[in-house]
Chain A
Amino acid sequence: MLEQCRAGDRAAQEAVFSRLYPELRSIAVSKLFGAVNDPLVTPTVLVHEAYLRLVAGERLDVVSRRHFFASAAKAMRHILIDHARRAAAEKRGGRDHRVTWTEGLGAEFAGVAWLDLDRALGELAALDPRAHHIVELRYFAGLRVEETAELLEISTSTLHRDWQRARAFLHTRMSP
């Protein structure tokens, strides 16, 4: 299936996503949102675990990996945001949309205003799709700079510039 993605087959990419999403979700729910938090289990770890499981050692070319990680980042973003949204709903406060996690997730997650981030990312996607893509890959799939640059077939300096722009924009849009 990943190989089909190579041909740029959008449908196949969506298929990857739809296979990946439930998989990641189920791991995420048990490992990230479960009663016992292992601080070592981060969304990134999960994405890579999923990668290893799904790819099973196959060496994928850059296009296939791009599809995988793009899908995985998107899936992880959905999972985290969805969780935040549900947590928000449970708060019953209703008006407070700025949900900040302080429990249920490791320290790394506390303090992130997920719904704000999601909204700001949506805005960024409209302004600067590539930067948005970079943020997703870096932030939700945990790819390193080089990996991200390699996947997107851009130089690291371009990536740094994009990242800088995106970062500033998101911070601005998320700050109170």
Chain B
Amino acid sequence: MSQPDPDRAGDAAAWRQAYAVFGELLEMETAVRDRHLATLDLDPDVRAQVSSLLEAVVEDGPLDHLPGDRGAVDRPGAGTAPADPALDDPALADPAPVAGTKGAIAGWRLGEELGRGGMGIVYRAFRDGADFEQAAALKLIRTGVLGPGAMARFRREQQVLARLEHPNIARLIDGGVAADGNPFLVLQVVDGEPIDRAAASRSATVGQVVEWVQEICGAVDYAHRNLIVHRDLKPGNILIDQQGQVRLLDFGVAKLLDEDPEAAETTRVLTPGYGAPEQRRGGVVTTATDVYGIGAVLYRLLAGRPPEEAGSTPPSAVPGARAGMDGDLDNIIMMALREEPGRRYPSASALADDLACWQQQRPVSASPDGLGYRLRKLVARHRWAVVAGTVAALSLLGGSGVALWQGDVAQRQAHRAQASAEDARLQLARARAVTDFLVDTFRSASPAANEIEKVSAREILDAGLASVASAEGLAPDTRRNLRSVLGEIAFWLGDLDRTESLLAVNLESAQSPPAGDAEAVDRYVRDLRFAARSAFKRGEQSVAFERFEAALARVSEASLGEQLNVALFHASTLLGSGQADQAAARMETLIADGTATAGTVLQEAAVHGVLASAYEGLRRLEEGKQQAEKALAFFAPDAEALDSSGAERPAIERALYMSILARIEADLGNLDRALTLSREALATRLPVFGAQHPDILVARNDLATLLKNLGQFAESAAMLEAVLADQLATLGPEHPYLAYTRFNLGEAWARAADRAENPAATREKAIRAYRLAVDRAAVQPEAFGNAAVMFRGAYGHALARAGRVAEGEAEIRRALASVDDNDRTKPRLSVLLGALLNDRGHHAKAGELLGPVVASLATIYGEGSRAHALGRLEQGRALAGSDPDAARRALEDGLGALRSGPFKHQYAREIAIGEAALATVAPSADRN
């Protein structure tokens, strides 16, 4: 209470010193300590602290009562079975006969000594009841085995053990601490003989032995469900009583005698041959330890010796197979005896189940290592990771977020829609089904999904391919299933060549499945679906649609889930090939005829998601918005539970629909909502996919575009610079996406320049970004299409704005020269040229150029469109000197459209220029 507070610096130093001195003193003999302490020159406070520390060494304190204990993991020698006189290692210190205890302990009268071992002595004991005399075995624990701190625990646990009531378990009747401080246990006495001797004396058949072991499994499983592990299963602890019933002794006794931290070193006594590998290593003891123990006993009973004599290597088969034994039983034993606890049977009951299969001559789940083992292990342990990894592997090819102008919007949307529709299409649900399938195929031995480690789907794929390649004697059907699943995984991983090769084999070999075989039809249709989609992604459109046709021919025989999946895939592909109308029609049909609602909730959401994308591509924005919101409604907090297995899954799907909605909202001009949605979607997906995932890069790019549209040019540019860096890192410098990002970056910097502290430097950044985009596109113009000329046009425009007018004009003219007269981009490029001419004061030329251009813009993009508005604006500027009225109309047209549209921030500069021009031609407006 009056102790110094180490929080204060001086006291902390004092404690530090006291602690150091105390440490030294501890190394000395107790007798020397005081003398030595007296010789030290210490501050009185420090001395007092040292003394209190020394006192604490011998006092009982809070740390002596550990909040938890796992128990002795390696004390199998602890329990000397009352009815099993086989003693523990005789080399151990002989337990001192406990003086003064002989006679009676806590109401128990001691009889003859039944045995003794490392932990104590076992006596026959009797309690005089009112009506009867109860005989039992009393185990007196050697003094000192339990430290003082463990005593309370001993009492408590012994009560828990006493609750174990099972016909095959010898009960713990009583226990406690005798008057002299020695703990004791009283166990039910079983009249019987150890199972190995019983097997010999009764010439038990293999079938009899298996029956006994099943009883053992039942008892052990019961104890496990009560959170008690035996940890010392061996023939000596398993008796066959006079009724022929199995009785297990010493349940959890080893744990009861767990060491105390202050107690002497543990005596590690393992029953030779029966201790599990983890016990020999001093590892963690679990229920799997008992599974090993049961396996070891079974091995002993069948092979005549324990599986492992000290120092030997683990057995690989039961030697000297007896009559009635076969490979399956051998496999069962070997599975129970596996080195790694997690690869044994997950429970004693699972072992019993397999033994039952063996008895009924059904296939057993145990099989030698090899085929599917890696897969099973990976999948079982990484169920979630498989899902995430598979999603992460989805490459979003569309939606590179190129903010080309309106003319390209439809194309861009179609492109994006393809990707997002596919996203929406249950990528995760599919991945999960794949996983489930794998798990089922290989009958996972490990039900506990490991959530901590992540293994990439690619690893699983590689492991799977390896096992398919190496597996001998695999049933053709299993092989087909495996290829099917691996093909899908490869697909989600973007490894389209592998998908193709795996599925092609299946499709060739299984031409057309018979009508009655639902499973085969399902697989056939599914293979076709993935093969089709994969072909489409590889650019083989006609192959893709041929395969879809083949799938559609049989799809009515497939399961409902598969029918929906085919429809969703097909629609996505239609969208991707520019047939948004047909895609929309398919989804509308599904909704109209109720099929959509018959699938899973996630599938239903996907139908609406795909439809939203289709409408987006068709520019039916309001309807698209409705559909996206419908898809999202499935994820509302009050919506019925989507999937209890993982919150991440719905969250990610929700994010996908949010990003569709965000794009639609942006196109509708609701930029703020779009920004909110985009940000939330990105925040959900980022932790799952990682910043460099293609999806995420696209999403970041889209977000940057939104920021630009909102007039936050510098923020947009900063974000794009980061995207660019990640794309460089992940895609390499040659990837076409980089050109798009650079173009977007040019746009952002060009617009940021007007407000920048150093406009010239910022313009240079824009020019450089555009330049790199132009150069890249020039290398491979066919990969860029219209985009290449728009890159060049924008580049020229930026050069001109930076004062390099001649260069700029040359670039724009070069761009114009490279496109056909009926190309949609031509009039837009012409507007850029017109702007440049206006800037240079060549208004007559500009006016001449822009007249027909504006007319075609109105035709192509519509009056009031962004492209048209920009054209009108330049036309107004051109006419200002010659025809003020026409100029005013043109300027008011252009300004009106730009100001009211979603682009008012983005075109702030154009609006300002237009307003300045309007001021010169519209004095009448002021007078009005």
Chain A residues within CB distance 8 Å of chain B: 1-3, 16, 19-20, 23, 38-48, 51-59, 80, 106-109, 111-113, 117, 123, 126-128, 135, 138-140, 142, 144-147, 150, 156, 161, 163-165, 167-176
Give the contact stretch, choosing among B15-23, B199-207, B524-532: B15-23
Partner of A127, one of B15, B56, B65: B15
- Cβ-based interface call for B683 (8 A): no
> In the complex, what residues of B have CB within 8 A of residue A145's CB?
259, 261, 265-266
Tell me the residues in window 421-477 of chain B with beta carbons closer than 8 Å to chain A beta carbons.
446, 448, 450-454
A53 near B448 with CB under 8 A, answer yes
Known: A2-B453, A56-B381, A57-B288. A142 touches B70 (CB 8 A): yes
Q: Is the interface of A mostly helix, strand, loop or mixed?
A: helix
Of chain B, the residue at the smallest CB distance from A156 is B265
A165 near B67 with CB under 8 A, answer no
A144 near B259 with CB under 8 A, answer yes
A175 near B453 with CB under 8 A, answer no
**Bound: A126/B19 CA distance, A:** 11
Known: A51-B284, A145-B259, A147-B282. A171 touches B452 (CB 8 A): no
**Bound: A170/B49 CA distance, A:** 12
Q: Smallest Cβ distance from B523 to chain A, in angstroms?
A: 30
B453 near A171 with CB under 8 A, answer no
- Cβ-based interface call for B93 (8 A): no
Q: List 21 A-B contacts (CB under 8 A).
A: A1-B452, A3-B453, A38-B227, A40-B226, A48-B286, A52-B284, A53-B451, A54-B452, A56-B448, A57-B446, A108-B68, A142-B66, A142-B68, A144-B282, A145-B259, A146-B266, A161-B27, A167-B63, A169-B19, A171-B61, A175-B56
Known: A57-B446, A126-B12. A1 touches B340 (CB 8 A): no
- Cβ-based interface call for B342 (8 A): yes
- Cβ-based interface call for B73 (8 A): yes
> In the complex, what residues of A have CB within 8 A of residue B266's CB?
144-146
Q: Smallest Cβ distance from B900 to chain A, in angstroms?
A: 49
A58-B381, A108-B68, A171-B59 are known; give 18 further A-B pairs, CB within 8 A: A3-B453, A23-B451, A38-B227, A40-B228, A47-B68, A48-B70, A54-B452, A55-B450, A59-B340, A112-B62, A135-B63, A139-B66, A145-B259, A145-B266, A146-B266, A167-B61, A167-B64, A175-B56
> In the complex, what residues of B have CB within 8 A of residue A51's CB?
284
Q: Smallest Cβ distance from B795 to chain A, in angstroms?
A: 42
A108 near B65 with CB under 8 A, answer yes
Partner of A53, one of B226, B259, B450: B450
- Cβ-based interface call for B478 (8 A): no
Of chain A, the residue at the smallest CB distance from B159 is A39
B67 near A40 with CB under 8 A, answer no
B454 near A1 with CB under 8 A, answer yes
**Bound: A23/B449 CA distance, A:** 13
**Bound: A112/B64 CA distance, A:** 11
> In the complex, what residues of A have CB within 8 A of residue B32's CB?
none
- Cβ-based interface call for B732 (8 A): no
Of chain A, the residue at the smallest CB distance from B258 is A144
A127 near B16 with CB under 8 A, answer yes
- Cβ-based interface call for B69 (8 A): yes
**Bound: A140/B157 CA distance, A:** 19
- Cβ-based interface call for B85 (8 A): no
> In the complex, what residues of B have CB within 8 A of residue A42's CB?
67-69
**Bound: A163/B491 CA distance, A:** 56
B56 near A44 with CB under 8 A, answer no
Q: Smallest Cβ distance from B217 to chain A, in angstroms?
A: 19
A176 near B1 with CB under 8 A, answer yes
**Bound: A176/B63 CA distance, A:** 15
B67 near A108 with CB under 8 A, answer yes
Q: Smallest Cβ distance from B17 to chain A, in angstroms?
A: 10
Tell me the residues in window 2-53 of chain B with beta carbons closer than 8 Å to chain A beta carbons.
6, 12, 15-16, 19, 22-23, 26-27, 49, 52-53
